[in-house]
Amino acid sequence: MTKYYDIDDIITEEEIVSVIFQKAASGVGIDPSSENDYIETGSKVELPFWLAHELQLRQVVSINIPSCFDQKTRLEIQADCASVDLRSRCPFFYEFGCKIAPVVGDRTIGFLLLSAFKNRYKELLTKAHTAAFSAATKIWSILTNEEINLYEAAQSSMASFKKWRIGGPRFQKAPVLGRKRNQLNNYSLNLSGVFDKKELLGFYEYLISPLSLRGVTSINSAYYFNYS
Amino acid sequence: MAGQSDPHFSLFSAEELEFVAEDDMVEIVPNLKMDALNLISGDFGPFAPQIATQVPLWLAVALKRRGKCSIRPPEWMSVDGKEGKRVKRSTNNLTQVLEAERESQEMSEKLPFHYVEISRLLFDHARDDIPDVYMVRSLIEDIRDVRFHKVRTDLEAFNGRTIAVKIKNLSAMEVNIVRPFIRRALQAFCKHDSPELIPEPERVADKRPQLVNNAPRRQLRR
């Protein structure tokens, strides 16, 4: 129940599974093609997972393995994991598999998930850290949501490192402050604004003896990060 | 970490790492005469012209920008290690580090923890003080590439039994880059390779009585 508020969890449970009704049910409007509200025993219906799960606990339905874990997908994963388009099958492949596995009673889903993830992870590892933009769009379309999580983490850290490496001014004027500020007094600290580099160097000259250079720098950094 | 818009990434920004790296001491040759500076972080001795002094990097950069000193590059940051009249060749130089990196899978321990940040600061501000600056720069880039490649090959060998990753002698910037990725990868592996999801017929290799080993066997990778 820790994931009750997790959006990803909610969307995962929306996935459609096909179930077979064990008992007849009346008064339900699930199947829009039927004329009356009556569902026969043994009829096959498509339901979202959260509903099917609850009904299975009450032993009204029995759940079949959904199509994203069927034989065709397994063969594809065995052949070449890294290029299997898992996203079109089910964007929450791994999460869904984790939920389905205890319910359906198929013990091999865990292996399938693990091997698929391991192999794709190796591929993901190299591509995430080094890929140029053109390769990036190609791989994005076949990753599930968890893999995109990993990928984005690596990409953003790599991008910020590259940006830092190129260089550039260390302190940047916050875009909030567009207007001109008054000249700083010699002996008063104007603590309400972000200092840009030129004024900070002026500070160094005035305050080098009583204040540590380090101290002034850290005040400035605090303001910089405040406004970023 | 400060000022992050996305709290999930838990990344130090590169500027913050640079800030921390500036605490390292470096040697300068001032060309001014000044009394001792008594600052909160320490006392930095009286400066006399042409007498080498040890100061923190931030102070060295600040003085350099006003043209009041010249920075002597640290010993590890030299191409071949020969310095002036010294006969004994220093063992800490970049070509040797590069060779050592290429040979073995372990990370070389000769580079300081913040070598990326320190080298960048010195390139930006003290370019004329470094002999052979282009060679030094290309060597450092090569070293960085080789090390990062090694980190990546290490990371490939995860499995669900990993609870911690141990890579020795990694530098601060490299750690920072891979930190969010490793965190999420470990989480994902832990979730998928947990024992209750996968039946364990083949893991019971030794038929011991049930007294021992109730928890799944964990191994610390390397």
Give the nearest chain A residue to B12 (CA atoms): A157
Q: Is the CB of residue B166 less than 8 Å from the CB of residue B136?
A: no
Q: What is the pLDDT of residue B162?
A: 67
User: For B169-177, what is the mean pLDDT?
Assistant: 84
Give the nearest chain B residue to A169 (CA atoms): B15
CA separation for the pair A139, A153 (Å, rounded): 15
CA A101 to chain centre: 22
Q: What is the pLDDT of residue A34?
A: 59
What 3-state DSSP class applies to B25? strand
In angstroms, what separates the C-alpha of B88 from chain A's closest C-alpha?
Answer: 35
Confidence band, pLDDT 50/70/90 cuts, at residue A224 = very low
Q: What is the pLDDT of residue B208?
A: 38
Inter-chain touch A160–B37, beta carbons under 8 Å: no
Model confidence at B78: pLDDT above 70: yes
Chain A touched by B173 (CB under 8 Å): yes
Read off the pTM.
0.66
The CA-based angle A217-A223-A225, given to 5 degrees, is: 100
Inter-chain touch A154–B180, beta carbons under 8 Å: yes
User: For A85-97, what is the mean pLDDT?
Assistant: 77
With beta carbons under 8 A apart, name residues in chain A contacting B180: 153-154, 156-157
HSE at residue A157, side-chain half, CA atoms within 13 A, is: 25
Q: Which two tokens stand for residue A148?
A: 């995109």
Chain B touched by A214 (CB under 8 Å): yes
Q: What is the pLDDT of residue A131?
A: 60
Compute the mean pLDDT over every residue in chain B, rounded to the nearest whole number.
Answer: 74
With beta carbons under 8 A apart, name residues in chain B contacting A122: 156
Alpha helices in chain B (DSSP H): 14-21, 57-65, 94-103, 115-125, 133-156, 172-192
Q: Which residue has the tokens 């790492």?
A: B17
In angstroms, what separates the C-alpha of A105 from chain B's closest C-alpha?
Answer: 11
Q: Is the CB of residue B116 less than 8 Å from the CB of residue B172?
A: yes
Inter-chain touch B184–A165, beta carbons under 8 Å: no
**Cβ neighbours for B105, distance < 8 A, ≥ 6 positions apart:** B150, B153, B154
Chain A touched by B41 (CB under 8 Å): yes
Chain A touched by B113 (CB under 8 Å): no
In angstroms, what separates the C-alpha of A110 from chain B's closest C-alpha?
Answer: 5
Q: Per-residue DSSP letters for A16-55?
A: EEEEEESS-EES----TTSSSSEE-TT-EEEEEHHHHHHH
What ipTM did this prediction achieve?
A: 0.71
